[in-house]
């Protein structure tokens, strides 16, 4: 019995080594595959030169823009990023008139994120349905998602970040 025990002890390290080396080789081959995939990837474009910008609250900074029922405060990001992105605060003009705001449309963007700073806004989005966003809510609108603004509170303010800075809005109605 002592002989069998010794024999088992001798083979156990070899088995462990075999298992370890097979794991190492699979890790290694995964690393090689990843390296090969990276080698085939397109070279990254040089980042756009950006400048520092700060924007401070100024109630008089809101201006007309894309929508007649909203005023926009540009935060200076488009100029600072040379067109890479745009950020603005949108102040909805009360009262909400569904005959004016409820027009189906989409934005030809790569990225669009909205955050509710004050109040609430209700919209309808393809594949999602009707959604009410309240103060503190944030949502991502995928590129070209068809949507409609349905209603908003009298104090509704939104932060919107969009890439690229210049984009088209397509009215569907």
Considering the domain boundaries, does residue 141 fall inside one?
yes
Contacts by 134-141, CB closer than 8 A, 24 or more apart: 138/113, 138/114, 139/113, 139/114, 140/111, 140/112, 140/113, 141/107, 141/109, 141/112, 141/113, 141/114
More confident residue, 89 or 29: 89
> What is the number of domains present in the chain?
2
How far is the C-alpha of 47 from the C-alpha of 50, rounded, in Å?
Answer: 9
| Structural domain that includes position 14 | 1-44
How far is the C-alpha of 147 from the C-alpha of 116, rounded, in Å?
Answer: 17
How far is the C-alpha of 21 from the C-alpha of 80, rounded, in Å?
Answer: 52
Considering the domain boundaries, does residue 3 fall inside one?
yes
Q: pLDDT per residue over 58-84, tens digit each?
A: 888 999 988 889 999 999 999 999 999
CB-based contact 64:71 (threshold 8 Å): yes
Residues in contact with 53: Cβ distance below 8 Å, sequence separation at least 6, in sequence order = 75, 76, 77, 79, 80
68 and 34, same structural domain?
no
64 and 38, same structural domain?
no
Considering the domain boundaries, does residue 49 fall inside one?
no
Q: pLDDT per residue over 97-152, tens digit each?
A: 988 888 999 999 999 999 999 999 999 999 999 999 999 999 999 999 999 999 99
Residue in 143, 147, 139 with CA at minimum distance from that of residue 171: 147
Query: What is the pTM assigned to this prediction?
Result: 0.72
């Amino acid at each position: 019995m002592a002989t069998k025990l010794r024999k088992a002890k001798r083979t156990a390290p070899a088995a462990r080594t075999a298992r370890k080396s097979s794991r190492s080789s699979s890790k290694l081959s995964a690393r090689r595959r990843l390296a090969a995939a990276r080698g085939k990837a397109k070279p990254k474009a040089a980042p756009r030169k950006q400048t520092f910008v700060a924007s401070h609250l100024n109630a008089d900074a809101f201006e007309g823009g894309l929508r007649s029922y909203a005023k926009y405060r540009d935060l200076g990001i488009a100029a600072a990023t040379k067109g890479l992105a745009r950020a603005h605060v949108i102040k909805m003009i009360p009262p909400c008139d569904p005959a004016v705001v409820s027009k189906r449309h989409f934005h030809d963007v790569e990225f669009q994120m909205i955050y509710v700073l004050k109040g609430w806004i209700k919209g309808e989005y393809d594949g999602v349905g009707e959604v009410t966003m309240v103060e503190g809510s944030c949502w991502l609108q995928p590129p070209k998602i068809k949507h409609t603004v349905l209603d908003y509170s009298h104090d509704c303010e939104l932060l919107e970040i969009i890439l690229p800075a210049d984009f088209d809005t397509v009215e569907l109605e």
